[in-house]
Chains A and B, each alone.
Chain A
Amino acid sequence: MYTQGLDAAGREPSPPDAASDAERAARFQARIDAEEKIEPKDWMPDAYRRTLVRQISQHAHSEIVGMLPEGNWITRAPSLLRKTILMAKVQDEGGHGAYLYAAAETLGVSREELVDQLLDGRAKYSSIFNYPTLTWADIGAIGWLVDGAAIMNQIPLCRCSYGPYARAMVRICKEESFHQRQGFEIMLRLARGTDDQRRMAQDALDRWWWPSLMMFGPSDTDSTHSAQSMRWKIKRFSNDELRQKFVDFTVPQADFLGLKVPDPELAWDAASEHYRFGAIDWQEFEAVLKGHGPCNRERMAAKRQAHEEGRWVREAAVVHAAKRAAAARAAA
């Protein structure tokens, strides 16, 4: 929104100088502390703008890349209804990417720049999408666990200090709960099905559990951006808090399914009223972030290919619009 106004004009009413910048920063922090929302043309520290562009665009990239592991099973869904449902979910993910790119663009960056950053590897996307979908049960596990973890993260973001991001998150959260329910329903049917189906469901849980826990990011002590993000009310809860909440909510769901969470150290701790769980393999997380996960290369290749092969569509659209305009003028 107002992208042209922001980056082209780029003007501040008075020339920037150290004293008034400190004053503006203090007033900005006071607004944040008072739970006021920051809107696109409001003054904001460069670092606030930069961190939001990074976070929102990487969130958008995650939605778009996230269409790939599930898109993999559209042609092989077990029934027509499940095929249409999966298509609707993947379409939603595309839509979520669109909402988020639109929110990022309000901060003075163009869609083109953001897409370039994704395609040339400068931008990150959520590590979870670098894992393969090997069976239909993976589609259930993704909806149940991956979307479940995303919901845990995204609900607090509905109250983040930056207006357009918060509003996009409200829209996304409304749609996300269908995603989780469709995933859980798949797991339920498989868990209550034949021995082979139950085994397939358990195998999917075995492979998606730990990567889902990693979605919440590094442990609080190792998280570099967190403190400033909390001060600016972009982030409302710590990584570990959200991860704990996810475990507490999800383990009873696994129990209901009759499936076993692949963690021998998982145990209910009556004193704290939380589940204690085992150590996460942070080396795996780091490796996947660096590009050495099972599907990183495949995901990036797919996006680059889609971008290249879609070029003719983007160009044809422009020509078509010109033809339509010329026809309209001729008819007038």
Chain B
Amino acid sequence: MPDTEKRSDGWALYEVFIRARSGLDHKHVGSVHATDARMALEHARDVYTRRQEGVSIWVVCSSDILASDPAEADALFEPARDKVYRHPTFYDIPDEVKTL
């Protein structure tokens, strides 16, 4: 497994995502330090699933995560702001019509 952007001491920071049960999404829970992906998975298991909190673990090098900039959130999410017609409540359906 390729490991990008290790520090000069050979360790890297990995973000950890856990799926608690099948049917649920992987959720971000924190981070671990490790020398490679396999160690990251084992550390994530030891740190974040001591009480059977997970059935599946993803680890991603922190440096591989690309994120939107909170300072630009307003501009980035602006297009949805005035599209109220995307919401079901915008539509006035007479009460007599059932199951709609």
Chain B interface bracket (under 10, 10 to 19, 20 to 34, 35 or more) = 20 to 34
CA of A99 to CA of B38, assembled, Å: 19
Q: Are A1 and B38 in contact (CB under 8 A)?
A: no
Q: Are A317 and B70 in contact (CB under 8 A)?
A: no
Name, among A103, A171, A321, the residue most crowded by chain B CB atoms within 10 Å (CB to CB): A321
Q: In the complex, what's the smallest C-beta–C-beta distance from B41 to chain A, in angstroms?
A: 13
Grouping DSSP codes into helix (H, G, I), strand (E, B) and loop, the A interface class, with mixed when no group exceeds half, is helix
**Known contacts A105-B13, A318-B10, A324-B36; is-contact A1 B71 (Cβ 8 Å):** no
Grouping DSSP codes into helix (H, G, I), strand (E, B) and loop, the B interface class, with mixed when no group exceeds half, is mixed
The answer to the question of A325 belonging to the interface, with a C-beta cut-off of 8 Å to chain B, is: yes
Q: In the complex, what's the smallest C-beta–C-beta distance from B77 to chain A, in angstroms?
A: 15
**Known contacts A91-B50, A98-B32, A105-B13; is-contact A13 B63 (Cβ 8 Å):** no
Residues of A within 8 A of B50 (CB): 88, 91-92, 95, 175
Of A2, A95, A105, A321, the contact of B47 (CB 8 Å cutoff): A95
The answer to the question of B56 belonging to the interface, with a C-beta cut-off of 8 Å to chain A, is: no
Interface membership of chain A positions 91-121, coded 1 if the CB is closer than 8 angstroms to chain B and 0 otherwise: 1100100110011010000010000000000
Residues of A within 8 A of B46 (CB): 95
The answer to the question of A229 belonging to the interface, with a C-beta cut-off of 8 Å to chain B, is: no
List 10 interface pairs A-B (beta carbons < 8 Å), by A numbering.
A1-B31, A1-B62, A12-B71, A39-B70, A42-B70, A95-B50, A105-B31, A111-B33, A175-B50, A325-B36
> Which 9 pairs of residues, A with B, have the shortest CB-CB distance?
A318-B10, A321-B35, A321-B36, A102-B30, A102-B31, A317-B35, A98-B47, A13-B71, A42-B70
